[in-house]
């Protein structure tokens, strides 16, 4: 057997031929107060916590296969930040200097699988880190306005709505905090949290995720 040749995961950059190479995907949980409450938690009682997805979970929009082993797939629209530089124990004042660009993405969750894992006190990696679990629109260099609106519609119906200014831990604080756990590097993506209104996705539905000032993400599950 020959040594396999691996393909570097990557995402599109708006208006450019080059693609952004994805090294790692980090996600932060419960970073909007209303979402924390709808999940049964006090947003003022805990620091941010992080989980990961595999790099090749990052895919473009369009038609996607409905994930296996779930009857309760949930949407979570998020601002995604892409790092062009890294560091360890980054000062908050320097954190935004690591940012290459940003995009709107979806943190997809096999909610039924996650609920079972939580009940049994087991890791819920497979509820979050499955194939194509991180659809992302093309990156735009820089960041959107601090008060930009973030929304998600399904078949034209508004399901999630918030503003980036509602983030409990803003982007600079998230980067600084995450850099105390791991050495950040160019190619890392950070999903920054989702507003309230998370809910199920059904086959054949069309989702449109948006952050003002960034290309939208449109997809459906067959």
Sign of CA dihedral 27, 57, 68, 60: positive
Q: Which two tokens stand for residue 105?
A: 């993405």
What does the pLDDT look like over 97-138, one tens digit per residue? 999 999 999 999 999 999 999 999 999 999 999 999 999 999
Contact between 78 and 105 under an 8 Å Cβ cutoff? The reply is yes
What does the pLDDT look like over 145-200, one tens digit per residue? 999 999 999 999 999 999 999 999 999 999 999 999 999 999 999 999 999 999 99
Class of residue 20 by CB neighbours under 10 A (exposed 0-12, middle 13-18, buried 19+): buried
Domain boundaries, the chain: 10-221
pLDDT (0 to 100) of residue 36:
54
> Is the CATH code 3.90.850.10 the one for domain 10-221?
yes
d(CA 52, CA 128): 8
d(CA 53, CA 28): 11
Q: Scanning the structure block, which residue is given the tokens 């929009």?
A: 61
Task: Specify the higher pLDDT residue, 89 or 35.
Answer: 89
If you average pLDDT over every residue of the chain, what do you get? 94
d(CA 178, CA 171): 11
Distance of alpha carbon 80 from the chain centroid: 5
What does the pLDDT look like over 36-66, one tens digit per residue? 565 555 666 578 889 999 999 999 999 999 9
43 Rama sector, left if φ>0, alpha if ψ -120 to 50, beta otherwise: alpha
């Amino acid at each position: 057997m020959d040594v396999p040749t691996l393909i570097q995961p990557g995402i599109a950059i708006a208006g450019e031929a080059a693609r952004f190479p994805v090294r790692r995907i980090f996600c932060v949980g419960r970073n909007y107060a209303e979402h924390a409450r709808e999940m049964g938690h006090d947003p003022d009682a805990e620091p941010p916590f992080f989980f990961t997805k595999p790099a090749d979970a990052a895919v473009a929009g369009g038609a996607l296969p409905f994930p296996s082993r779930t009857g309760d797939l949930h949407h979570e629209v998020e601002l995604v930040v892409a790092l062009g530089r890294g560091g360890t124990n980054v000062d908050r004042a320097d954190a935004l200097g690591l940012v290459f660009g940003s995009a709107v993405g979806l943190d997809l969750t096999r909610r039924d699988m996650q609920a079972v894992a939580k009940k049994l006190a087991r890791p819920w990696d497979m509820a979050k880190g499955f194939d194509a679990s991180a659809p992302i629109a093309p990156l735009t260099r820089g960041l959107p306005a601090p008060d930009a609106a973030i929304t998600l519609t399904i078949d034209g119906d508004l399901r999630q709505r918030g503003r980036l200014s509602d983030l409990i831990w803003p982007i600079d604080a998230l980067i600084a905090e995450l850099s105390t756990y791991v050495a950040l590097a160019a190619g890392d993506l950070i999903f920054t949290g989702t507003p309230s209104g998370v809910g199920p996705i059904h086959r054949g539905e069309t989702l449109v995720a948006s952050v003002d000032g960034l290309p939208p993400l449109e997809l459906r599950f067959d």
